[in-house]
Chains A and B, each alone.
Chain A
Amino acid sequence: MTDGKRERLIREMQHIVGEQAVLHRYEDLVAYECDGYTVRNGLPSLVVLPKNTREVAAIVKYLHEHRIPFLPRGAGTGLSGGAIATNREVIISLVRMNKLLHVDYANRRAIVQPGYVNLKLSNHVAPKSYYYAPDPSSQAACTIGGNVGENAGGAHCLKYGVTTNHVLGLELVLPNGDIVRLGGLPDTPGYDLTGILTGSEGTMGIVTEITVRLLKKPQGVKTVLALFDRVEDASVTVSEIVASGIFPAALEMMDKTAIEGVESGNYPVGYPKDLEAVLLIEVDGIEEGLQEQIGRIVEICVKNRCREVKQALTQEERARWWANRKTAFGAMGTISPDYLVQDGVIPRSTLPEVLKRIGEISRKYRLRIANVFHAGDGNLHPLILFDSNKPGETERAVAAGSEVLKVCADVGGSITGEHGVGLEKMDDMRFIFTEEEIASQIRIRNVFNPYNLCNPDKIFPKPARCAEMKKLAAVAAEEDRAV
């Protein structure tokens, strides 16, 4: 971008959102270089902070007309680099659009702006015994707009589903600046466009309003912790619990290295140091029958040689166990300067085998790997620990991560469960899709985002994109001639 063009861009943005809501000096932009994924970074050309849909539309319209790339950003807690400006994009930060617009208890739904923080919604409706089900570990900080972008999951998605199962409707600014509304009712005729948008990682437009489902809080919740001396025993326990017909609300697992991390962090539970694995299991629903389910779970744990199994006796105890689990990623900072978290999904029955192979990858790349996972639905989060200051370690970590995903794909799984593809796993898409399949997906994206200005160079691997880009450039040139 030429200096003159940039100056005009800054002036125009200031005109739309006001001077205080445009960051353009180098020092003000540095902190926006990366999100929760720190392996890559990129300086945005500007950061703009709109307050309403009208402002978002005006910003996007200008950028579209001038063919300037842009991307939306929420709290920047994403773990696949979806909000990193690798092409000097304009970052449209939605954190000032953080209002809860409407709560409709009768129809069990709420309307929020994209910058509204996930946990705030549950806290707001808690006095009436409602909650918003998707609970990513970062829920105290991440925004619902970001959750829609990534189709975020969370510990309780095992029973309640991921974000897409809870989004009823969207207001969206298309990449050309038009404002459209999608969905809004539990089921709308025609294609499920809300479904396509949810998880599109900011490549199909910028969501400016979200209608979400509210759930009534379950009557009862019971939580147990089971401590194991062998990871294999814990894995088998997971499979047996699910096979027994019990439907847990959450079924979480951490291995020895992960336990070391959380215990050195700010929210320790006090796990024994020599423990190999821990399971955090929760059942909820109608009070009657819950204790019986817990009884059966305890039986299965004992049968599989668990060292100890205990039930949370108070709400505080349960909260402490969950705080420990939910801060697991961040707590890795106590045992390693950097980490790379993977997000593979595997059939539950392959868990012991996959864990073994992750162990081999760890040895091969000489990097420690801590395993934290939503074991119940086979969603693994191997945390590859490394030090970016040591030459070559970052590259080794990235390679190890990719190899872990290859293993997941090979056993019939997938490369991402809830964190999105972003920048991180673009090339790994080839583990599960053919070039043709990828090209078809790009064609769908192009219906919304024909000039690839809205979060470009994310999700899909490069070479395929190159061919696409050539075709698009030809189309664009033709259009320009027509004008």
Chain B
Amino acid sequence: MNETGNKTVQTAACSDLSLKKSGYLWDDAPDPHKYSQCVHCGMCLEACPTYEETGLEPHSPRGRVYLIKSVAEGKMELNEMFKDPIFTCLDCRACETACPSGVQVGALVEEARGQLFKADPPKGMQALLHKLFLHHLFPYPRRMQLLGTLLRWYRKSGLEKWAERLGLLRLLPKHLHDMEKALPALTVPPVLRSHPEHLEAFGEKRAKVALLTGCVMDILFSDVNEATVNVLRRNGCDVWIPKGQTCCGALHVHAGDRDMAKKLARQNIDTFLSEDIDAIIVNAAGCGSALKEYKELLQNDPEYRGKAEQFSRKLKDVSEFLFELGVVQPKGSVPITVTYHDACHLAHAQGIRNAPRQLLREIPGLHIVELPSADRCCGSAGIYNLTHPEMAGQLLERKMQDIPSECDAVAMGNPGCILQFRAGVLQHKRPLRIVHTVQLLNWSYENEEKGERYD
């Protein structure tokens, strides 16, 4: 973390605004080229979930960009009042889809958060939690796995039931209680620990890929990772699961802790580029978008800029990769009705909407219905549902209303959304399975093996 405390005035950001002093005092400030692309037309307004809920201009993408620019022009300071709209942003990027001129609002908000993080670092309990989770837990897969083991034990040992009975869980704020209940059964051990580093393709080899297992995905939804490995191998891929990988840093970028994020990015780049591979696969949209943006994160790092570009070029979401490769036709029947939710960081941040839907269409027996406003945020947004429970709750409520009644399952491509949807269906007592797109593919392959063919 060599930049910490390195208080250099960023001349690039304020060179053309010579009259007033920029409020951004550290490296990596919001990029003037990015905000000057905004012409204030307002086409983003209705795409923004927080504007839709509040009707407040400062809580709209256009308003946020205007405030970010105002700080650079010295009209505003890096204070609590600037922090509120910047941190209330879900970073869902829906505005980027709506924007006629492609303003990178997400990147601007993240850069602004980086400045706020340095100007006003987390304090007290918040600082403790930040350090604990983002510095001492997430960057260390072993510690995360231990946490997973503890969670599993808590659930299996009956301790959870006792905690429930004694009313201990009610001591938690309601949204945390809801999340606790939504935690999955954790039946499959983390793939990063349980699988060998190298696995061979089933049948003819078509590609060699590396898999980023993710933190939340591998601890809470390792069954999704297992399905991903199976599906990739069935599609002729040698799968490499590098032991040296670490957290992608998305949560750090969201929180404004860019120094830590860069540290993690460099480690991942070194790890994944150490072997010759065709693609780096990720099945968590939030991680995928952060990994694809390493080139942005490290743009001021002369040593890593080029490597980051190379890394980001190889990075593929699992649905994107399978669709481009040409998926091996699954033949087992999965006779259920499913709808597909667009994770923000898949649809808006990575522009991937068609590939997962096409993959689902390949599955025999699967009946697909469209989800109205499928690409509106569900409120999960990284850890937004923990930091802004009220707004997240309103968005989840709308999402639940939108799910067609005939559905048996909802498919999506991001662990945060999966957890959020699980909480939603529990609250609404709806008998819906919440699955990752590759799980449905994997079921079809498995059913094929069991002889449950559709044709």
Tell me the A residues contacting B by CB distance below 8 Å.
Answer: 23, 25-28, 30-36, 38, 47, 49, 75-77, 93, 95-96, 98, 115, 117, 138, 140-142, 264-267, 327-334, 337-339, 389
Contact (Cβ within 8 A) B101 A265: yes
The answer, among A31, A34, A75, A267, for a CB contact under 8 Å with B100, is A267
Cα(A76)–Cα(B43), bound, Å = 10
Q: Which residues of B contact A32 (CB under 8 A)?
A: 57
Q: Which residues of B contact A25 (CB under 8 A)?
A: 81
Contact (Cβ within 8 A) B37 A334: yes
Closest to A98 in B: B55
Cα(A136)–Cα(B77), bound, Å = 36
**Does B103 have its Cβ within 8 Å of any Cβ on chain A?**
yes
Contact (Cβ within 8 A) A77 B42: yes
Instruction: Show 5 residue pairs from A and B whose CB-CB distance is below 8 angstroms, ordered by the A residue.
Output: A26-B81, A31-B60, A115-B55, A142-B42, A338-B39
Q: Which residues of B contact A267 (CB under 8 A)?
A: 100
The answer, among A31, A93, A337, for a CB contact under 8 Å with B36, is A337
Contact (Cβ within 8 A) A329 B100: yes
The answer, among B41, B42, B55, B103, for a CB contact under 8 Å with A93, is B55
With A27-B76, A75-B45, A337-B36 as contacts: A95 and B55 at CB distance below 8 Å = yes
Cα(A207)–Cα(B102), bound, Å = 34
Closest to B36 in A: A337
Contact (Cβ within 8 A) B39 A333: yes
Contact (Cβ within 8 A) B81 A140: no
Cα(A339)–Cα(B428), bound, Å = 49
Q: Which residues in chain B, 22-43, are within 8 Å of chain A measured between CB atoms?
A: 36-43
Cα(A403)–Cα(B206), bound, Å = 64
Contact (Cβ within 8 A) A76 B102: no
User: Besides A138-B42, A266-B97, 18 other CB < 8 A contacts?
Assistant: A27-B76, A27-B81, A30-B58, A30-B67, A77-B45, A93-B55, A96-B55, A138-B41, A141-B43, A141-B45, A265-B100, A266-B99, A330-B43, A331-B101, A332-B101, A334-B101, A334-B102, A339-B39
Question: Closest 3 CB pairs between A and B?
Answer: A330-B100, A333-B101, A327-B100
Closest to A29 in B: B58
Closest Cβ of chain A to B80, distance in Å, is 9
Interface string of B35-76 (1 = CB under 8 A from A): 011111111111000000001111010110011001000011
Contact (Cβ within 8 A) B41 A36: yes
The answer, among B42, B81, B102, for a CB contact under 8 Å with A266, is B102
**Does B324 have its Cβ within 8 Å of any Cβ on chain A?**
no
Contact (Cβ within 8 A) B43 A34: no
Contact (Cβ within 8 A) A30 B55: no
Please report the total number of B residues contacting A with Cβ < 8 Å. 35
Cα(A439)–Cα(B42), bound, Å = 34
Cα(A289)–Cα(B337), bound, Å = 43
Q: Which residues of A contact B45 (CB under 8 A)?
A: 75, 77, 141
The answer, among B37, B46, B60, B82, for a CB contact under 8 Å with A27, is B82
Interface string of B401-430 (1 = CB under 8 A from A): 000000000000000000000000000000
The answer, among A76, A141, A265, A329, for a CB contact under 8 Å with B57, is A76
Contact (Cβ within 8 A) A330 B41: yes
Cα(A62)–Cα(B66), bound, Å = 31
Cα(A332)–Cα(B40), bound, Å = 11
The answer, among B37, B56, B70, B102, for a CB contact under 8 Å with A30, is B70
Q: Which residues in chain B, 355-411, are within 8 Å of chain A measured between CB atoms?
A: none
Cα(A479)–Cα(B76), bound, Å = 43
Cα(A117)–Cα(B44), bound, Å = 13
Contact (Cβ within 8 A) A31 B42: no
Cα(A153)–Cα(B75), bound, Å = 35
Cα(A334)–Cα(B103), bound, Å = 9
**Does B79 have its Cβ within 8 Å of any Cβ on chain A?**
yes
Q: Which residues in chain B, 79-104, are within 8 Å of chain A measured between CB atoms?
A: 79, 81-82, 97-103
Q: Which residues of A contact B81 (CB under 8 A)?
A: 25-28
Contact (Cβ within 8 A) B57 A31: yes
Q: Which residues of A contact B43 (CB under 8 A)?
A: 77, 138, 140-141, 327, 330
Cα(A264)–Cα(B101), bound, Å = 7
**Does B17 have its Cβ within 8 Å of any Cβ on chain A?**
yes
Closest Cβ of chain B to A24, distance in Å, is 12
Closest to B55 in A: A95
Cα(A31)–Cα(B77), bound, Å = 14
Closest Cβ of chain A to B100, distance in Å, is 3
The answer, among B39, B44, B66, B67, for a CB contact under 8 Å with A329, is B39
**Does B3 have its Cβ within 8 Å of any Cβ on chain A?**
no
Interface string of B266-277 (1 = CB under 8 A from A): 000000000000
